[in-house]
Structure 1
Amino acid sequence: MTYPPRAVMPPNRKDLTPDELQRHLWGSAELLRGAIDAGDYKLYVFALLFLKRLSDHFDEERPRATFFVPPCARWEVLRSAASPGEALNTACIALEDENPRLRGVLAGLDFNDARRLGDAKNRDALLSRLLRHFSELDLGDASLSEPDVLGKAYEYLVERFADDAGKKAGEFRTPTQVVDLVVALCNPEAKMRICDPTCGSGGMLLGCARYVTRNGGDASALRLHGQERNLATWSICTMNLLLQGRLHDRIEKGDTIRDPRLIDERGRLLRFDRVLANPPFSLARWGQEVALCDPHDRFRHGVPQRANGDFAFIQHIVATLDVRGQAIIVVPHGVLFRGGVEADIRRQLLAEDLFEAVIGLPPNLFYGTGIPAAVLVLNRAKRAERKGKILFIDASRHYEERPARNRLRPEDIDRIVQAFRAFSDVPRYAQVIALRDIADQHFLNISRYVDASEPNEPLRPNLGAAIARLRELETARAVADARLQAVLRDLGYDG
């Protein structure tokens, strides 16, 4: 086969560093700013980065390249196309036809979308500028200063887009510092089967791979699994993994509760060594109608109310844990104390001794919500000295305050992780509680068990109780407000 000559890239592009690539990629986003809606342009930037990398790597490695890039999808053809929108759409279709691993990844893109990109004249002009901008980079292996350049740049873009997206960012991104905390608590090891059932752009899964590498393990031996219901976010996640050389991970698209796709050849739920998740907080209309007759028996502890899916996700995760599996789940505080069927589910999980730790996080860490969150550590195989006990950690006062969102500092993350590993009492920070001492109502409010107030004799006992009660009421109010906002969104009021 005769191949067209490779386009000549600009000089001095060897040893491309993460910082250089990140600045250049954000420059592509700036080209789109004001031209299209901020919520739309991330997918186009990610897709062009992906197409450019595939083409440059193919030119560099053919015929040994991982993916075959047909002539119509090669960069020199795309950048010189008279109608770039049509050329890019044709390239996406051809790439999927030639590479089964890419099926569906690019199908949701339409570079001729008049609603998003404008009329033909403006659309073609905009896409031509983007193609010229990406043409300034060579993304072949020989031009990269380190193997993880693309991965770091992709994660940088995801975080920048999340910051720009504001309240909608939580749909596809968990803040980096929260990811770092969850991954460190998970402590993944090579050869583990790891799952994120609400994986968004894949931050937690890739965080596990980086953690294993950083600790001297073989990250390629990790078996990563995920599911994501939003098609665009699923595409971003899949491209993210593929750009970082993870070709064999299994990321399914679909609704985890209504249609769990991580199943074996006999239709049974897969089981995992570790499950990490930041499910949508207090999701309304989560799929109660399916849970009432669930073929996988995930909701044997009880079917949550239609208006709040927190315990639906928790029970799904419990059902997918292996016999020695552990789960780390980010949840709103309401999970710790709400009554009704949720209290009954919580009681049964306590009776099975699944709770290993309950960790209270600082306020305002997440995109789009200021409500305080907690981390649950569930474990099917607690060590003998931890059986019948739960560690409560109040980390709510240890963070860096910032204008838009607060931030966990490295020392804050390290303190939480060290306290969890030590599993011992720390004054005003951590307390080990026996299951028999858990309140009769099976409440897990952290402030009931950890008095984080500063000592102030002789008022400390009364003041501590008052502060604990105040925090409970503040949390309850925040949870109620979040549920109200969810109901209003369902009714079409998104102000």
Structure 2
Amino acid sequence: MTETNVQQHQQELKKQLWNIANTLRGNMSADDFRDYILGLIFYKYLSDKLNKYANEILSEDGVIFANVNATTEDGKEILEAIKEEALDKLGYFFTPSELFHVIAKAGENGEFILDNVTQVLNNIESSTMGADSAEDFNGLFDDLDLTSNKLGKTPDARNKLISQVLKHLDNIDFHLESSEIDILGDAYEYLIGMFASGAGKKAGEFYTPQMVSKLLAKLVTLNNPKLKSVYDPTCGSGSLLLRVAKEANNEDLQFYGQEQNPSTYNLARMNMIMHDVHYNRFDIQNDDTLEDPQHIDARFDAVVANPPFSADWSANPLHLNNVRFADYGKLAPKGKADFAFVQHMIHQLDDNGTMAVVLPHGVLFRGAAEGHIRKHLIAEKNYLDMVIGLPANIFFGTSIPTCVLVLKKNRKHDDNVLFIDASNHFEKGTNNNVIRESDLERILNAVTKRENLSEDELKKFAHIATQAELKENDYNLNIPRYVDTFEEEELVDLAAVAKQLVDNDKTMLETDKTIADFCAELGIDAPFEVKG
């Protein structure tokens, strides 16, 4: 499949998926229909994947999986053999009668299918019991409640709606035979993005805009493209982890993440599977990362995150005895957990790894405990490598300006910190500003050249700050202290204007021009209305 064909298929797929979403949109909030549409898309994906895999196994015998009769002895024997293979390769199994196409056709023919769909989803999960994939499939469909009144007031109304959705989905070809395995995954991320934009702040919590994800992924893979592991302590839907995989040169990359919201945690696991990440290659956990970290003893080559901005946390004094926070002497404030996430991420970072995190601008200059922690990171640990200022209003649900901090335990440029001010480089969008490819390239150019940047490249965009400068500023990292972006306004020479007016006044006596005419020529407003 050529790149052009892939793009065309992606656009058509996105269009159809959004039309299906609109089938549900009128019945419920964006947050609710997100769970239904993505859950059913995932069922469709699992079904198509299993059907394709089983047919490959059966091809030598001339048997088609969908035609295997589960009630005969031969059929049972065939299905048992396929189940064993599928659990190892795919991590799940279900019978031909439970394939998405079969259920969708039954619904199209007017049959009541809600109970069947619910049973299939339960069977998918139960098929993994005792298998290595059990943890990754456990509770995946918990948010798909087909008895909810959100789908309709009566069972028949709910059945009609779900049947319509399944019919539309059944007509979509996911092109699983293509080597471009991200065709569905990209559309899936598109839907997540659309849901985030439609649902506001709540949805935005689990979605990082694509260009921001790409920036973080580029930053952590720049000098380590063959990294073996990546970790996101607030992984949301998992798109940031998957973006790192696109930049890393390792097909066996291991993914680790933690997400507090149960629904979003399910999305992350679905997203991994839909991007063809084998269940043995990802470990996503559901819990509060700051209070109950699930990977505390592990260290990772790359750590990335877009934590919830200025979130609440316990700030329990007992945390000062925790290995993640003890060395700093102070905890992040109860109502601003930003530095708590930074400290946690540093703890999980391998000695030769790189971490990149998106944070609100306040972390750069707020004082008290945050100022103390910031100074410790710079003066005592010397972990801070870069500060990148991003444009305002690029995240769903908040218009505040943000920044990216890049930290390393073993820094190549250990005597300075690179500051980049990219806040004025964006395209204004309808609801949110957008970082363009050219804006991203300008940032990465400054990162790669660093100490070899020309005066023109440094001017109003970047600055190399020495340790002495940082100390002189009392470790306040507010970007305007280091990058001068001030634009001087063109001043009007009032004396020259006055002289010109006098000259014009003399000229007016010899012409039929008005004061307004002369003022227009000078590009200024007339001081008063002149009546003839």
Please say whether Structure 1 and Structure 2 have the same fold, judged by a TM-score greater than 0.5.
yes
Match of 2:161 in 1: 126
Verify: 1:74 aligned to 2:99, yes or no. Answer: yes
CA shift for structure 1 position 243: 1.0
1:40 and 1:116 in contact (8 A); partners too:
no
1:73 and 1:95 in contact (8 A); partners too:
no
CA shift for structure 1 position 442: 1.7
Distance 1:255 1:236 in 2: 17
Match of 2:445 among 411, 418, 422: 418
CA shift for structure 1 position 138: 4.0
Distance 2:444 2:180 in 1: 30
CA shift for structure 1 position 128: 1.2
Residue 390 of structure 2 aligns with an amino acid whose one-letter code is: L
- Could you report, residue by residue, the CA deviation over 1:276-295 in whole angstroms, capped at 9, with x for unpaired residues? 111000012x2323863654
2:36 and 2:143 in contact (8 A); partners too:
no
CA shift for structure 1 position 311: 0.9
Distance 1:259 1:304 in 2: 17
Identity between Structure 1 and Structure 2 (%) = 35
Match of 1:409 among 436, 451, 466: 436
CA shift for structure 1 position 115: 4.7
1:299 and 1:316 in contact (8 A); partners too:
no
Verify: 1:355 aligned to 2:355, yes or no. Answer: no
Match of 1:465 in 2: none
Verify: 1:154 aligned to 2:181, yes or no. Answer: no
Match of 1:315 in 2: 343
CA shift for structure 1 position 84: 3.0
Match of 1:4 in 2: none
Match of 2:299 in 1: 271
1:258 and 1:290 in contact (8 A); partners too:
no
Match of 2:49 among 50, 57, 81: 57
Match of 1:184 in 2: 218
- Could you report, residue by residue, the CA deviation over 1:329-382 in whole angstroms, capped at 9, with x for unpaired residues? 101011011111111101100121111011111111111111100110111111
1:162 and 1:367 in contact (8 A); partners too:
yes
2:310 and 2:338 in contact (8 A); partners too:
yes
Distance 2:490 2:9 in 1: 56
Verify: 1:336 aligned to 2:331, yes or no. Answer: no
Match of 2:245 among 209, 234, 248: 209
Verify: 1:228 aligned to 2:259, yes or no. Answer: yes
CA shift for structure 1 position 71: 5.0
Match of 1:246 in 2: 277
Distance 1:408 1:241 in 2: 26
1:392 and 1:450 in contact (8 A); partners too:
yes
SS in 2 for 1:288: coil
Match of 1:369 in 2: 398
Match of 2:209 in 1: 175
CA shift for structure 1 position 16: 8.9
CA distance 1:291–1:458, shift in 2 (3 Å): farther
CA shift for structure 1 position 83: 3.6
Distance 2:174 2:153 in 1: 29
Residue 370 of structure 1 aligns with an amino acid whose one-letter code is: S
Q: Which shows bigger deviation, 106-115 or 94-103?
A: 106-115
CA distance 1:132–1:416, shift in 2 (3 Å): same
Q: Which has the higher helix share?
A: 2
Distance 2:427 2:143 in 1: 39
Distance 1:129 1:30 in 2: 11
Match of 1:32 among 24, 27, 30: 24
2:299 and 2:350 in contact (8 A); partners too:
yes
2:239 and 2:271 in contact (8 A); partners too:
no
Verify: 1:259 aligned to 2:251, yes or no. Answer: no
TM (norm. structure 2) is 0.77
Higher RCO structure (Cα 8 Å, ≥6 apart): 1
CA distance 1:169–1:15, shift in 2 (3 Å): closer
Residue 165 of structure 1 aligns with an amino acid whose one-letter code is: A
- Where does the alignment leave 5 or more consecutive residues of structure 1 unmatched? 1-13, 460-495
Match of 1:114 in 2: 149
Distance 2:200 2:145 in 1: 25
Distance 2:220 2:156 in 1: 51
2:230 and 2:302 in contact (8 A); partners too:
yes
SS in 1 for 2:407: strand
SS in 1 for 2:164: helix
CA distance 1:392–1:458, shift in 2 (3 Å): farther
Runs of 4+ residues deviating >6 angstroms: 456-459
TM (norm. structure 1) is 0.82
1:191 and 1:221 in contact (8 A); partners too:
no
Verify: 1:427 aligned to 2:462, yes or no. Answer: no
Verify: 1:89 aligned to 2:114, yes or no. Answer: no
- Could you report, residue by residue, the CA deviation over 1:435-471 in whole angstroms, capped at 9, with x for unpaired residues? 1221353211000111012356999xxxxxxxxxxxx
**RMSD value over aligned CA atoms?**
2.3
